[in-house]
Every structure is written in structure tokens, then in C-alpha cells.
Copies of this chain bind each other. A is one copy, B any other.
Amino acid sequence: MKNITDIAKIAGVSKSTVSRYLNNGSVSNKTKQKLDKIIEENDYQPNQFARSLRAQSTNMIGAIIPRMNSHAVDETIKGVKKVCDNLNYRLLLNYTNLHSELEIDALETFNRSKVDGVIFMATEITDKHLEVINKMNVPVVIIGQEHPQLNCVIHDDYQAGYMVGKLIGQKSYKKVKYFGVTETDIAVGVKRKNGLCDGLKAFEIEPVISETSFHYKEALKDVSSDLENARDYDVIIGATDSIALAVHKFTFDYEDKLQQPLIVGFGGDPVTEIVTPAINTVEYHFVEAGEIAMSKLQRSIKNQQKDDISVVDVTCAFKL
């Protein structure tokens, strides 16, 4: 592999001339053409590490994602990538498979790698997360959870829950079941649930609440044992689309086809419309969230200061 000095020698110029050719331009037409050819022939590529070392910046953004096979993650990263492309940042993904320690590890790695900024799709922010993030000398933007000391983009989960609650109340459904998730996840476990309860409360409905897992398979177990002895719900709501799908899977086999409950989920996962009858799901604007997050990050990189939390609206595309 050739370096800038090799190229300079071949061209019979100094390496600063080659460097100028590569960056600003300011070289004579003659040497320009000579270099065009030589660099092409030797397919020379400047060493990115030497560049970064020198420039003290890498033009890279690191993104930490909890998992891959997820509509939410996919869409969010689409948004992030779009802005990255515009701003000429390289996007690197680090995937933690929902492991909290791997998140910490990834944060430290990106910090050490001196990426220009980090996008962190969080499911939970522990004290350890906070400690590591505060020590970092690279700006971080969190997507999906909020924390007063950090730079965050969140979805309006309370509103999402509230909208569903109101829609259900208006249609005068009576018996409502909710499968929620752990309260360590503030966004989904707490706010979404509270929104729903408040929305229902206006109609004097109190849902029956259980807690289950984000994972379809585990949710299916919980849902099955839970609903086995109580099949008279008008509406069953899953805190996520995965959970709603588990509910669908179980209730689909109810003997009495006519009395199947209405099923509602959150997240706008396209799988919800593959099943029949399609599941009603609240649309989250993940792409937009990704774009906003990356723009925020860009500002942090320039200004070094955090701004307020950004809240992305949700939309309820369905009518009950």
C-alpha cells in the first residue's frame, strides 16, 4: 500500500504538493494532471487514521443500537443516516443485542475511537450510563428515553397512550386489558401506561394491567396464561406491537370468533398489518426522530452545549 510520500516521489514533487492536490486544490494544471494519472494508476487512498490523528476529528458518528431486527431501530437509523449523508459524516453502528454492559462498552469504545458524536438508542438509563456519558468528551444524543442532564429526543408516549385511551372510551368499550412492560423503561413502561390510564379515566374505565416482556415469545407465554381464564375483554392493548402480536396470536384461536377483542399496539410495525384482522397501532415517527437527533448532535458538536429535550409527536392513523 502506497503512502503520500511514494506518490510524491513517483510524481517528482514534494508530498505537500500531493497533499494540496488532495485537499484544497491550489496546484498547477500540469502537476494536477500528472497526479490525476498517478493516483489513479496506483489507486492511492490517503490513510484515514493519519488524517484523523492530524485533524483531531474523524468525521464519524457512532450509533449504538439495541437490536437490529426491529422496525423502530431500522426507521430511526434511516433518519440518522439521511442527515449524516447530508453533513458528510460516516455512520458506524454498534449493536448491543439489548445488553446493558455492551452499551457501556460501546460508549467507551466510541469515546476512545474519537468519533465526533454518538447517537444512543436507549431502553433505559442507569446511573452507570450517566456516569460514563458524563465522562465522555464526545457529545451524545439519546433517542427514546429522557434524562434531565442529557441531550434527548423522545416520542410523546404519554400522548400516544392518552389518544388510545380516549378513542376506546369514546366507542364505549367497557372491559379493557393492558399488557405493559417493566417500569425501568420510563418511556414505554411508565409514560405510555399513564397516558392510557388517564385517557380511559375520563370515561371512567379502569384497565386491567399486567406486565410482560418486549420479546414476542415471552410475551406470548404471559399473554396465554393471563387470558386463559379471562376471555371477555372488549379491548386488549399491548405496550408494543410485539406484545399486541402475541395477543393476536392467542386470541385468534378463541372458539367464539364473533367475540374477538379489539387489539391495539404501539409503534407502527408493518407486521401488524400482515396479520388478519390487522392490529391497530399508533404510528411513531422514527425517521423524524432520527433526523432530529442527528441535527441536535451536529449542533452539540459545533457548540459544545446541550439544548432542550425534543419531543416527536405520534399519530393515530386508525379509527376504532
With an 8 A cutoff between CB atoms, is A137 at the interface?
yes
For window 235-284 of chain A, which residues contact chain B by CB distance below 8 Å?
Answer: 245, 248-249, 252-253, 270-271, 274-276
Question: Do residues B74 and A68 form an inter-chain contact, with CB atoms below 8 A?
Answer: yes
Minimal beta-carbon separation of A114 from chain B (angstroms): 6
With a CB–CB cut-off of 8 A, which chain B residues contact A49?
A: 49-50, 52-53, 58, 113-114
With a CB–CB cut-off of 8 A, which chain B residues contact A112?
A: 45-48
With an 8 A cutoff between CB atoms, is A90 at the interface?
yes
Known contacts: A45-B111, A49-B58, A68-B74. The answer to whether A93 contacts B90 by CB under 8 A is no
For window 75-134 of chain A, which residues contact chain B by CB distance below 8 Å?
Answer: 77-78, 81, 90-95, 97, 108-109, 111-114
Minimal beta-carbon separation of A34 from chain B (angstroms): 21
With a CB–CB cut-off of 8 A, which chain B residues contact A71?
A: 69
In this complex, the interface size class of chain A, counting residues with CB under 8 Å from chain B, is 35 or more
Nearest CB in chain B to that of A109: its residue: B90
With an 8 A cutoff between CB atoms, is A73 at the interface?
yes
With an 8 A cutoff between CB atoms, is A182 at the interface?
no
Question: Do residues A47 and B43 form an inter-chain contact, with CB atoms below 8 A?
Answer: no
With a CB–CB cut-off of 8 A, which chain B residues contact A113?
A: 48-49
With an 8 A cutoff between CB atoms, is A67 at the interface?
yes
With a CB–CB cut-off of 8 A, which chain B residues contact A270?
A: 216
CA distance A21 to B155 in the complex (A): 46
With an 8 A cutoff between CB atoms, is A135 at the interface?
yes
Question: Do residues A47 and B114 form an inter-chain contact, with CB atoms below 8 A?
Answer: yes
CA distance A275 to B271 in the complex (A): 10
With a CB–CB cut-off of 8 A, which chain B residues contact A81?
A: 95, 97
With a CB–CB cut-off of 8 A, which chain B residues contact A91?
A: 94-95
Minimal beta-carbon separation of A120 from chain B (angstroms): 15
With a CB–CB cut-off of 8 A, which chain B residues contact A317?
A: none
CA distance A96 to B184 in the complex (A): 33
CA distance A193 to B312 in the complex (A): 45
With a CB–CB cut-off of 8 A, which chain B residues contact A304?
A: none
Question: Do residues A274 and B276 form an inter-chain contact, with CB atoms below 8 A?
Answer: no
Minimal beta-carbon separation of A99 from chain B (angstroms): 11
Nearest CB in chain B to that of A76: its residue: B68
Question: Do residues A67 and B74 form an inter-chain contact, with CB atoms below 8 A?
Answer: yes
With a CB–CB cut-off of 8 A, which chain B residues contact A172?
A: none
Known contacts: A53-B50, A93-B93. The answer to whether A274 contacts B253 by CB under 8 A is no
From the candidates B74, B95, B252, name the one contacting A93 in the complex (CB within 8 A): B95
7 contacting pairs across A/B (C-beta < 8 A):
A1-B137, A47-B53, A49-B52, A49-B58, A49-B114, A78-B97, A248-B274
With A93-B95, A275-B276 known, 7 other A-B pairs at CB within 8 A are A48-B114, A69-B69, A90-B109, A91-B95, A93-B94, A216-B270, A271-B271
A residues apposed to B, CB below 8 Å: 1, 43, 45-50, 52-53, 58, 67-71, 73-74, 77-78, 81, 90-95, 97, 108-109, 111-114, 135, 137, 216, 245, 248-249, 252-253, 270-271, 274-276
